[in-house]
């Protein structure tokens, strides 16, 4: 899972910097002294932002009776996995987002009402296509 998280976190910043660098080279060929340090600084800053952005990566989803339990991992912290539990009646909506050119993973966003009667939203990510499609079917069925 660590390999997938590394790819997910840094692929966007590397691809964006690569495209920016190519465009700068095409339009400003005489400015290579600026281009190399600017590209390195840009990739460094975008990588830092990507690294510190907190994402929840799905490990397992259990849907039983009137309850949804999602075991997930935050970023690289492989210690004890966290568990999101909610009653299906408190879930207001699901939003499913599939992979795109700039995003290498699927996401499932759940809007729910927490214990304090406040509206809340949590988003989980996965890269397994079959697993994602199966979970869409299970969650829509609820």
Judgement on whether residues 48 and 60 belong to the same structural domain of the protein? no
Residues 61 and 95 in one domain: yes
Residue 93, domain CATH: 2.30.29.210
Query: Is there a single domain that holds both residue 44 and residue 81?
Result: no
Q: How confident is the model at residue 1 (pLDDT cuts 50, 70, 90)?
A: low
43 plus 86 within the same structural domain: no
46-69: pLDDT as tens digits: 888 887 777 888 888 888 888 888
- The reply to whether 132 and 66 lie within a common domain is yes
For the CA atoms of 110, 111, 113, 119, the dihedral, rounded to the nearest 10 degrees, stands at 140
* 85 and 110 both lie in a single domain: yes
Do 102 and 130 fall into the same domain?
yes
Q: What distance in Å separates the CA atoms of residue 87 and residue 83, rounded to the nearest whole number?
A: 13
Give the position of tokens 């729910």.
112
Whether 123 and 78 share a structural domain: yes
Residue 73 exposed, middle or buried by CB count within 10 Å (0-12, 13-18, 19+):
buried
- Between 74 and 77, the higher pLDDT residue: 74
* Strands 56-64 and 119-126, bridge-based pairing: parallel
Q: Are residues 74 and 48 in the same domain?
A: no
The tens digit of pLDDT for each residue in 88-122 reads: 888 888 888 887 776 777 888 989 988 888 899 99
Q: Does residue 119 sit in the same domain as residue 62?
A: yes
96 and 129 in a single domain? The answer is: yes
Q: How many domains does the chain have?
A: 2
> What pLDDT score was predicted for residue 121?
92
Q: Are residues 39 and 102 in the same domain?
A: no
Residue-number span of the structural domain to which 66 is assigned? 56-141
Task: Give every strand in the sheet of 56-64, ordered side by side.
Answer: 82-87, 67-74, 56-64, 119-126, 106-113, 91-97
Distance CA 84, CA 139 (A): 15
More confident residue, 83 or 34: 83
């Amino acid at each position: 899972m660590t390999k997938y998280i590394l790819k997910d976190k840094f692929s966007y910043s590397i691809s964006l910097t690569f495209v920016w660098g190519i465009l700068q080279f095409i339009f400003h060929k005489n400015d290579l002294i600026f281009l190399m340090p600017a590209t390195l600084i840009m990739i460094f800053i975008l990588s830092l932002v990507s690294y510190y952005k907190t994402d929840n990566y799905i490990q397992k989803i259990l849907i039983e009776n009137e309850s949804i339990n999602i075991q997930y991992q935050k970023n690289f912290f492989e210690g004890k996995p966290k568990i999101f539990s909610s009653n299906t009646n408190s879930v207001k909506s699901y939003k499913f987002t599939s992979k795109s050119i700039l995003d290498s993973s699927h996401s499932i966003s759940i809007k729910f009402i927490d214990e304090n009667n406040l509206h809340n939203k949590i988003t989980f990510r996965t890269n397994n296509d079959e697993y994602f499609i199966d979970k869409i079917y299970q969650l829509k069925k609820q």
